[in-house]
Structures are given as C-alpha cells and as structure tokens.
Amino acid sequence: MNQDLSILHLVLNASLVVQAVMLLLLLVSVASWAAIFRKLFAIRRLKSLNDSFERDFWSGTSLNDLFAAATKNTHQSGAMERIFASGMREFQKLRERRITDTGTLMDGARRAMRASFQREMDEVESNLSFLASVGSVSPYVGLFGTIWGIMHAFTGLANLQQVTLATVAPGIAEALVATAIGLFAAIPAVVAYNRFARDIDRIAIRLETFIEEFSNILQRNVGAQAASGR
C-alpha cells in the first residue's frame, strides 16, 4: 500500500492532463527559483555598489573627480553612481552653453537624474511581475489539475460494482499531488516577491534622497560661483 501511494507512483499513474499540469508547474517552479536567485544577487550587488559610491561621495572627493571615475567605470558602476553621472553630465553641458540661470541649470540636472532613476528602477524591478504571476496563478493551475484528476478518477470508478476506500484513494491522491506542486511553486514566489518589493522600495527611497541631496549641492555651488562672479 505504501508503495502504491508513493509520490513517484502517483505521478507516473496520473492521467495525461494531470501529468502535463504537474510538468508545467515543475518547470514554472524551476524558472521561479532561477529568477529568485538572480534577483537576490542583483539586489545585493546593487546595494554594495550604492554603499561604495555613497561613501566616496560624502568623503570629500570633488564632484569632477567623481564624475571622471563614473564615466570610466560605466560597466561596473551602481545605480546611484549612474544617476549622479547623468545629472553631472547634463549640468556640465548646460554650463558649456553659457547658461547661468540657476533654475534652468537645476531643472536640467534634475530631469536627467529623474530619467536615469526611472531606467534604474525599471531594471531592478524586472522579473518581479513573473514572480507575482507565479504566486497568484500556480495554485489555480494545480487546482485545475486536481479537479481534472478527481473527475478522471470517478469516471473510472463508474464501471465498478463495489467502490471502497482502497479503490478511491489512489485516484484522489494522484489528483491532490497537482495542488501540492502548485503550492510548492507559489509559496516561494510570493515570499520572494514581498521581500524584493520591500527591498526595492528602500532602494528607491535612498536614490530619491540622493537626488535631492545632490541637487542641493549643485545649487549651492552655482550660488557660490554666482556670488564670487559678482
């Protein structure tokens, strides 16, 4: 009896539709775990790069030196450094055009940083929708497999003269395995999605705070240069 009701035996003896559902859910689960690990490593790397640049930024290094380093290390830079480079690049371009109005300079730099911020957030939020879909859809796919399996089991029992628990149990167990696999795929995806969403919100707040702080620094520099020019 134990051998007949083992997981492997139940999967191998399930109907073709239920087996297809199980295979689909297993493939989705593998893809979900791959996305989870990729996102986990990507967020850790992003946090590390942001921490490193922020230490350099507040260490007293000149903005020009930071900008030169950011333009050389574009492939190894983090989101905060790329946002800084975008704002600094636009600021310098406007200065080269002999624009001295503080409002125009600051608006240009802020727009460039906001555009770069949006690109960074789009990148860091990639694959989150996939995890959300896996977490919300997988239980229903598993439930579909279970319902189909139960229907198939009862259809097979229709020709029997005497129905006992021993004859019903294998078919029902085969069907319930689909729901179990659906939950196995959904639960990690939901937990990971909530964790990543919280981490990404914190990253977004940190980047927005940096944009405001860097904008204030640029504005003070423009004001100081204007005062010295007078």
Are 167 and 197 in contact by the 8 Å Cβ rule? The answer is no
Task: Decide if 173 is inside a domain.
Answer: yes
pLDDT digits (tens, 9 = 90+) for 34-71: 999 999 999 999 999 999 999 999 998 888 899 998 88
Task: Decide if 171 is inside a domain.
Answer: yes
Structure tokens at 196: 């990543």
User: What is the residue range of 196's domain?
Assistant: 7-61+130-229
Q: Distance between CA atoms of 50 and 37, rounded to whole angstroms?
A: 20
Q: What is the pLDDT of residue 137?
A: 93
Are 50 and 76 in contact by the 8 Å Cβ rule? The answer is no
Are 192 and 39 in contact by the 8 Å Cβ rule? The answer is yes
Task: Decide if 110 is inside a domain.
Answer: no
Q: What is the pLDDT of residue 97?
A: 85
Q: Distance between CA atoms of 164 and 169, rounded to whole angstroms?
A: 9
When pLDDT is cut at 50, 70 and 90, the band that residue 76 belongs to is confident
Q: Using a pLDDT cut of 90, give the percent of the chain over it.
A: 49
Task: Decide if 25 is inside a domain.
Answer: yes
Task: Decide if 112 is inside a domain.
Answer: no
Q: What is the pLDDT of residue 211?
A: 94
Structure tokens at 58: 């507040």
Number of domains in the chain: 1
Please give the model's pTM, rounded to 2 decimal places: 0.81
Structure tokens at 93: 């371009």
Structure tokens at 116: 């770069």
Residue 77 class from Cβ within 10 Å (0-12 exposed, 13-18 middle, 19+ buried)? buried
Task: Decide if 84 is inside a domain.
Answer: no
- What's the one-letter identity of residue 94? L
Task: Decide if 221 is inside a domain.
Answer: yes
Enumerate the H helices of the chain as residue ranges. Answer: 7-12, 16-57, 63-72, 79-96, 102-124, 128-157, 165-229
pLDDT digits (tens, 9 = 90+) for 110-144: 999 999 999 999 999 988 999 999 999 999 998 88
- Say whether pLDDT at 2 is over 60: no
pLDDT digits (tens, 9 = 90+) for 168-224: 666 677 778 888 889 999 999 999 999 999 999 999 999 999 999 999 998 888 766
Residue 41's closest CA among 220, 199, 226? 199
Task: Decide if 197 is inside a domain.
Answer: yes
- What's the one-letter identity of residue 72? K
Are 15 and 145 in contact by the 8 Å Cβ rule? The answer is no
